[in-house]
Structure 1
């Protein structure tokens, strides 16, 4: 049965479309136009109480019962548990996947998101302060990622990506928008090219999310 993906064309939305494509799951896209406030519609709030996209409805959830999941990190974790894909079976091997997934959720998303916000504000001291603060932190996080990827193909696993890669690439996809070129980030640049060369990942960015 088809998973419903309720989403919009944002980095957090792209994390999930990439994962669904990589996992080979059947899904349908249900656009939630956040520019029109559709994330506040009562029907959406029934299964996305934080009025944020993305959220999913899975008609074949645990024990064969319907399930809903909100928050992009939780959705990735759920899909990995559901399919057993891009999610190591051994707990020790899972730890770095969980660490880098939480790293993305806690920083490499909120920080560039704030950069996007301040770039849209009228020019002035408040805009300059906000942009400088969050852009500096965003660049620091890219440096952390570049060091992690030294000598590695993927962020948290060997041989194939994990859900941590799917989470991170959703935001790295917008690196030009938050004004972080890859010129001084050779390991990030190589990883990004490697990920985007994967047919399923490419499809995850090509599918229309609204």
Structure 2
């Protein structure tokens, strides 16, 4: 009787429980890289190719594997590559920031050559607006035009450059929409929203 029981115990000791078997299967599905090992060496030891292991493990450079890294041996055992996190987007567009900043100067009187709240001309408004947003612009309208990226379809916050018909820029405003510019228009008017008053215009964009 004792021998029979002993035999049963011995037989049971040789058999793996379902839980132990599942752990063993999981561990046999990958290799933990040790110092000095190469992907081709691991592949050769498991009768496969390094190209296959690189593919299922999403390894872009097969010559670079690191100690402690898991190399999965079958496609079904390898985890899916992590999805890249979407880049955070600003809740306020660049154009809206430009218009909102320029609107802070509404009511400032027109002063030729000025660029402060005491008084500003057309390019003084754009100069002060972009400076407040961390962007340095040339001081005069024609130079601001040359510093901008030329666009044919304006968006909110773009710059409107009025020219004399021969291409010479003499005024700049901020585009709000198809019926509105924000600008320091002329003496006696100052900074405010105005209806577009010229069709001889170029459009430029300054990123902020």
Q: When the two structures are superposed, what TM-score results if normalisation uses the length of structure 1?
A: 0.24
Which structure has the greater CA radius of gyration?
A: 2
Between Structure 1 and Structure 2, which shows a larger proportion of helix residues?
A: 1
Q: When the two structures are superposed, what TM-score results if normalisation uses the length of structure 2?
A: 0.24
Between Structure 1 and Structure 2, which shows a larger proportion of strand residues?
A: 2
Q: Which has the higher contact order (CA 8 A, sep 6+)?
A: 1
